[in-house]
């Protein structure tokens, strides 16, 4: 089970004008800052990368992005935060996580992306003890 992309457009009251947001789980990030391949199931001893690409309505705004990985029991496993000045109409960030066999739980995990505290997209992935 995986939700590869979610689409949100904030109301006019929000200073954030996001046209689309796409999230993936991948096994690595390439040298061109792109996901290697989208994965749905990972082994408990693997490292994964949550990857997000935002497309904005306008350019040159300052944002705080937050990427959050939550385990199958609802506990936050990792948060990556970035304060950034947008340089184009698109922006990408990633957040890595190395699973800890014996400590982390198998099951359905969640990766979420936020801009200025508002959730823009999420994806789910399965962690197995293969």
The CATH architecture one would assign to domain 5-128 is Sandwich (2.60)
Residue 6 or residue 65, greater confidence: 65
Give pLDDT tens digits for 34-61.
888 999 999 999 999 999 999 888 765 7
Beta bridge partners of 51: 24, 94
pTM of the model: 0.83
Burial class, 125, CB count within 10 angstroms (exposed 0-12 / middle 13-18 / buried 19+) = buried
Cβ–Cβ < 8 Å for 41, 1: no
Residues 73 and 81: their CA atoms lie apart, in Å, by: 22
Tokens representing residue 102 in the block: 């014996």
- The ranges assigned to domains in the chain are 5-128
Give pLDDT tens digits for 63-119.
889 999 999 999 999 999 988 777 778 888 999 999 998 899 999 999 999 998 999
């Amino acid at each position: 089970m995986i939700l590869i992309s979610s689409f949100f457009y904030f109301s006019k009251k929000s200073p954030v004008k996001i046209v689309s947001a796409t999230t993936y789980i991948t096994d690595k990030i390439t040298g061109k800052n792109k996901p290697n391949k989208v994965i749905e199931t990972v082994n408990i001893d693997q490292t994964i990368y949550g990857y997000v690409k935002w497309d904005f309505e306008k350019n040159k705004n300052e944002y705080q992005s937050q990427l959050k990985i939550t385990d199958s029991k609802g506990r936050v496993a990792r948060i990556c935060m970035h304060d950034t000045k947008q340089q184009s109409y698109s922006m990408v960030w990633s957040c890595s996580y190395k699973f800890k066999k014996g400590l982390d739980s198998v099951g359905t995990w969640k990766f979420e992306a936020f801009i200025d505290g508002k959730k823009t997209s999420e994806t789910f992935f399965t962690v197995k003890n293969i």
